[in-house]
Amino acid sequence: MKNKAIFLDRDGVLNHEIYDYICRVEDFEVLHYQIPPLKRLYDEGYLLIIITNQGGIALKRYTEEGLAVMHQILFEAFEKQGAKITHAYHCPHHPTVSEPCNCRKPLSGMLLEAIATYDIDPALSVMIGDKPRDVEAANGAGVKAILIEPDQQIDYDQVKAVLAG
């Protein structure tokens, strides 16, 4: 049987949106109120997978190591509440300094990689993001999408309604 997943944008969905690159670990603020609705979905068998553009790496605003520390903070916050993030995919490229890539949202490369790696059924999955490019990336991978406002609490019932079609 195939897996099902909740794909999650990071900035503005799992951590506080500051409308700039989060370059320093001390500026990385986990939105702890997102964990309970996501834990309910995790308990129902959904994989939690982060799909995030991190163009600040290509712009040399922060490093892969700094990003890894931020993701570790996020993973630990979820684990403390009994949920597990399966994987955090990130695109380190930026159109001003990088060659074109397939991973940067609104393209669907990161979602397609996750779907292949974790044997996920896109039809049973949803992407939650706070930007139109998150919706576009999801749709390109055959995944339903929910657009929320930055830092808006994820609504469990809305997610279930979208998944039900």
Q: Is 155 a catalytic residue?
A: no
* Separation CA 70–CA 52 (nearest Å): 13
Amino acid at site 31: L
Here the tokens at position 127 are 């992407």
Considering only the C-alpha atoms of the chain, give the largest distance between any 2 of them, rounded to a whole number of Å.
42
Which of 11, 119, 130, 157 is labelled catalytic? Answer: 11
What is the rounded CA–CA span in Å between residue 22 and residue 35?
A: 20
Q: How far is CA 152 from the centre of its chain?
A: 14
Q: CB neighbours (10 Å) of residue 88?
A: 22
9 is catalytic: yes
Catalytic residues, by residue number, are 9, 11
